[in-house]
Amino acid sequence: MVSIDLSGKVAVVTGGSRGLGLAISRGLAEAGAAVAIASRKLESCQAVAEEIVAAGGQASAHAFHAGRWADCDRLAAEVAERWGGAQILVNNVGKSPVAPSSLETSEELYDMVFAVNLKSVFRLSALFGEQMRAAGGGSIINISSTGTQRPDPSFAPYAAAKTGVHLYTETFAQELGPKVRVNTVMPGPFHTDATKAWSRSEGFTDYARRVLPLGRAGEPQEIVGAVLYLASDLAAFTTGACIKVDGGHSISKSGDSQPPS
């Protein structure tokens, strides 16, 4: 059996203290990586870091606002000081607030969505990518969304921002190759603390059974395998790619365009 061993590597996970990011942080730690957990609430990062250390792993906690350029610079500096740099970057952080309509979408909401979902992907990929290239190699993994393929008026700015993530994946794959690989993981509907209001609703459950080939939403740990693959040498010839982990959402069985919100 092939196993993934990331011992000796340092992984940075943005939004790493909850939801998919938490599952990814735990999975990377279990594979042997030291994990730098970054999110807006430092205390949440510290709790996850303490959990990982108690289980025999290595971790650090970092306060980080994805919409602030200076926070990206500070995170890179903190990781360099604490761990000497990173070999894995997971740009996971994201936010998808909905609005009643495009007309009722405020400028503040619009700017926030683009800043949180797109700015740090660009800046952190540039910062850590150059550090990885200088050190001899690494892997950047961007977390996107099937919203890029199945947009809806209620979250158009979010879908547009996540579409930009795909563009950055391909751009940085060109810029940082051949030493650094850059790929995307595209999740579909998942059960997380942020989505439980709709993902466990009767309406969504019925939708999933009718439309998704696998008939359900995913559990957070089911994103981890794709991330570990891309982080490891098993994906040594994979860059600029997008791996869908969506229960078949992108090839749904009927004409329904979106799950009920």
Count Cβ atoms below 10 Å from residue 37 Cβ, excluding itself.
31
CATH superfamily placement of domain 10-191+219-247: NAD(P)-binding Rossmann-like Domain (3.40.50.720)
Strand 180-187, strand 34-39: pairing: unpaired
Specify whether the CB–CB gap between 258 and 188 falls below 8 A: no
Name the catalytic one among 110, 158, 168, 207. 158
Cβ-Cβ contacts under 8 Å for 251 (sequence gap 6 or more): 213
Q: Does 202 score more than 90 pLDDT?
A: no
Element (H, E) at 66: none
pTM to 2 decimals? 0.92
Per-residue pLDDT tens digits for 58-90:
999 999 999 999 999 999 999 999 999 999 999
Report the Cα 85 to chain-centroid distance in Å: 19
In the chain, helix, strand, coil percent, each to 5? 50, 15, 35
Q: How far is Cα 250 from Cα 188, in angstroms, rounded to an integer? A: 8
pLDDT at residue number 51: 98
Q: Which of 94-98, 147-151, 169-173, 255-259 has the lowest mean pLDDT?
A: 255-259
Query: How far, in Å, are 19, 65, 116 from residue 109 at the CA level?
Result: 22, 16, 11
pLDDT at residue number 211: 83
pLDDT at residue number 210: 86
pLDDT at residue number 191: 84
Local confidence band at 197 (pLDDT 50, 70, 90 cut-offs): low
Per-residue pLDDT tens digits for 128-166:
999 999 999 999 999 999 888 877 777 889 999 999 999
The reply to whether 207 belongs to the active site is no
Closest CA relative to residue 217, chosen from 250, 184, 185, 192: 192
Mean pLDDT of the chain: 91
What does the CA dihedral 236, 19, 48, 83 come to, rounded to 10 degrees? 30
Side chain identity, residue 177: G
- Exposure class string for 117-156: b at 16+ Cβ within 10 A, else e: bbbbbbbbbbbbbebbbeeeebbbbbbbbbbbbbbeebbb
